[in-house]
Structure 1
Amino acid sequence: MENGHGAVRQLRYLPAVGSAYGVEVLDFAALRSMDVHRRRTQPQRPDFHVFALVGSGTGTHEADFQHFRLEEGSAVWIRPGMVHRWSDIDACDGPLILFRPAFLSGFTAPEAGTPTCWHLDHRRLALALLAAEHLGREHSAAARTPHLASPAVLSHLLAALILRALPGAPGSTGTRQSGDRHTDVFRTYRAAVEEHFTDRHQVADYARALGYDVRTLTRATRAVTGTGAKAFLDQRILLEAKRLLAHTDLPVSGCARRLGFRDTGNFTTFFRRQAGMPPAAWRAAYGTAGARGL
């Protein structure tokens, strides 16, 4: 996608040799050495997860129009489809884990309400780095000795790392178990929203398709994310609208069509209600901020 701020790179999961298990373990230093042209500082949209821990140093990161200060103890989770850029990681050190969306298929998805960036205290950071080191060693052993490779082991170690690093872990009420019905219902709803948000704008449409009633979807979504099903759906549509306005040259009418609105007026009304300004004004404001490098 392109606009006046340059192209958004669409990043596909292309593992290095010996990393064909759905997960790859590297670090900030490796990223810098592989990216001598500093393309990491430009907007990019991966189709895979990136989980990072800052063990030392400081820097900055931007994801979906939010700016984050990185420091020792920062944890970053970039989900597939996010538009992000490593604004400045020249002084950051720590592990970077890349993995396919399906690699944690047995995971209970407690990340549903997890922010993009959060902070670990020294004790939790030490434990998370230890978990990342264990994963990295197992990954290296699998690459060197394929007959010892175990995707199941790698998947479990990755899940352990993420659970260790999640806000409030261990044992917080926000970390839900696989038997939690609210979590299971929300995961189903979230997947359906991700697939159909451009053509289904009402919760009732999802309820009918999934075999739930609207109240069930609303309770489950609020239990996991703190917001209702309709607000969750509207925020997903709004996020994609912001991405289109910021990172493409599509006119507002084209963005409206891409997102399934019957006419530009309906889209403008929706965007103004959700974002507090019309689409053209938001595009202009974001463009000005982008030109200043904020």
Structure 2
Amino acid sequence: MSRPVSSPVPVFKLYGEGQEWLTPDLLHCETIPKRSRVHHWEIKPHRHADLSQLLYVHAGQAEIEVEGQRRMFREAMVQVVPPLYVHGFRFSEDIEGYVITLAAPLVSELKALLGAAAEVLAAPANFTAGADRAYLNSLVAALQREYNAAQPGRDLALHSLINLLVVWVSRQMIQRHKAGQSQERGRDYLNVFTRLVEARFRQQPSVEALAHATGISVAHLNNVCRDLAGQTALQILHQRLLLEAKRALIYTSMTVSQVSDSLGFTDPAYFSRFFRRMSGVSPRAFRHTGHLPPPLNAGR
């Protein structure tokens, strides 16, 4: 879907059909194959001046490009494309899904109803269907049926169905935002915890004391450490102790007993058991055969 830099980006109402809006409705709904098949399964980069689109892929493979950024999808998902964003698609021949195009008045109405969640329609985003795949397929298929039929109450039904779809998308956005905030807070907690470990590891503080100083519970601290560092809080503390023990054994002439004492162990025998459990060898064996990476300024 590459294009010469100097080529103008086409502006369409519906892809390939110029600037005329072909329906009195405020939305247009069609299957992905209907339009993409006649274009050899590729919708080249273009943009819409005043239309928003929701692309729902139910099955098959879709390569989606928005503002030069491409992603490949092989699972059910919804792609949001706001007005003016350059976008294009390439589909596999077994693609199943729908393209829903929303006119500006309908988008304004939806934004007013959504309130703070209206940002979901303001920027490109994609959301995997996950466990909601069957629900979304039923919802969008019903929207397509209503769109193609001239039944009583059609306009109300179309508005109700598009409202449900946009609410689903807005909820995904809210969940993603909350997850991002949670991860950011988690990084802050982990940074505080690792600074505490660095400052206090020689005193071998309890995980409870470190969690309290971090400002969270032990369970929360362990969840943060596992999610972001792949280890429990105690494992992080023990790894720091082990690293310092290895450094002392390699770079100093301290005895094993002195190293043990410097790291807050009250019993050299317990230190030796700790070291063997963590490294697989005794402190003395490590001193004779082990090594650490050279300092960063080695050889300068």
TM-score (norm 1): 0.48
Higher alpha-carbon Rg: 2
Higher RCO (CA < 8 A, seq sep 6+): 1
